[in-house]
């Protein structure tokens, strides 16, 4: 692969991350880039790896997702090379982020994971954040892995209702 297309994909990733004030998951970035047909999954993964390796983005795992944020060095680099991204691509990114902002934000602010505890039970940890402030962080112990998985799935779908119920009952 020539370096020029890979450089463009990296710039697109940096541009996307710079346009939001919350992390995006690698899957969310991939949804945009792959849906537009810009590149393949493997090339996208290579671009993300190289950006992370160069310190232009930071990647951290939250449950089964990888959250990406642009670093100060990434912002600086983007400022020098942003003009290499066409206005059409910039407009597509802006439209995508505007249309999906609430969904994208919710995906990275609501997390759940389960694991086997030292007592032999399964703990389901449920977290909801807003602008990096933890709104709720609950750990439920249940006897089976299936129960823990179901709790995590339901948290993803019903977190707003559950949070509202807790607030109403406790205040």
What per-residue confidence (pLDDT) applies to 2?
Answer: 46
DSSP for residue 113: E
Confidence of residue 3 (pLDDT cuts 50, 70, 90): low
Domain identity same for 75 and 25: yes
Residues 95, 150: one domain? no
State mean pLDDT over 100-129: 86
**Mean of pLDDT values over 86-111:** 88
Q: How many residues comprise the chain?
A: 171
83-89-92-93 Cα dihedral, nearest 10 degrees: -50
Mean pLDDT calculated for residue range 152-165 = 87
Q: Give the separation between CA 31 and CA 63, rounded to whole angstroms.
A: 19
- The residue ranking higher by pLDDT, 132 or 147, is 147
On whether both 151 and 74 belong to a single domain, the answer is no
Q: Is the pLDDT of residue 67 over 90?
A: no
The answer on 119 and 37 residing in a single domain is: no
Task: Tell me what pLDDT residue 44 has.
Answer: 94
Q: Residue 66: give the domain boundaries.
A: 3-108
Instruction: Summarize the chain as % helix, strand, coil (round to 5).
Output: 60, 25, 20
Q: How far apart are the first and last CA of the chain?
A: 59
Do residues 11 and 92 share a domain?
yes
On the 0-12 / 13-18 / 19+ scale of CB atoms within 10 A, 164 is: exposed
**Per-residue confidence at 63, pLDDT binned at 50, 70, 90?**
low
How far is the C-alpha of 16 from the C-alpha of 108, rounded, in Å?
Answer: 15
pLDDT score, position 92: 96
CB of 67 closer than 8 Å to CB of 59: yes
80 shares a domain with 15: yes
Same domain as 48, residue 18: yes
In terms of domains, do 50 and 130 share one? Answer: no
Enter the pTM of the model. 0.71
Task: Report DSSP state, residue 82.
Answer: G
Q: What pLDDT score was predicted for residue 143? A: 95
**Of 58, 87, 108, the domain-final residue:** 108
Q: Is it the case that residue 149 has pLDDT exceeding 60?
A: yes
CATH code where residue 80 lies: 1.10.10.10
Q: Are residues 85 and 119 in the same domain?
A: no
**Domains: count for the chain:** 2
pLDDT at residue 26 is higher than 70: yes
Q: Of 88, 108, 128, which closes a domain?
A: 108
pLDDT of residue 1: 43
| Bridge pairing between strands 57-62 and 65-70 | antiparallel
Asked if 117 and 141 touch (Cβ cutoff 8 Å), the reply is: yes
User: From residue 140, how far is each of 13, 26, 112, 123, 147 by CA, in Å?
Assistant: 36, 28, 11, 5, 10
Average pLDDT (58-87) is: 90
- Provide the mean pLDDT of the chain: 90
């Amino acid at each position: 692969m020539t370096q020029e297309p890979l450089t463009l994909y990296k710039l697109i990733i940096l541009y996307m991350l710079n346009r939001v004030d919350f992390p995006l998951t690698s899957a969310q970035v991939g949804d945009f880039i792959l849906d537009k047909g810009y590149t393949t999954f493997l090339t996208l993964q290579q671009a993300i790896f190289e950006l992370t390796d160069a310190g232009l983005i930071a990647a951290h795992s939250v449950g089964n997702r990888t959250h990406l944020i642009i670093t100060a060095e990434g912002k600086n680099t983007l400022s020098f090379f942003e003009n290499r991204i066409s206005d059409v691509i910039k407009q597509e990114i802006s439209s995508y982020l505007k249309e999906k902002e609430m969904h994208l934000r919710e995906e990275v602010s609501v997390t759940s994971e389960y694991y086997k505890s030292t007592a032999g039970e399964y703990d389901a940890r449920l977290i909801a954040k807003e602008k990096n402030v933890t709104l709720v962080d609950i750990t439920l112990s249940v006897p089976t892995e299936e129960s823990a998985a179901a709790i995590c799935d339901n948290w993803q779908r019903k977190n707003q209702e559950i949070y509202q119920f807790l607030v109403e009952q406790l205040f």
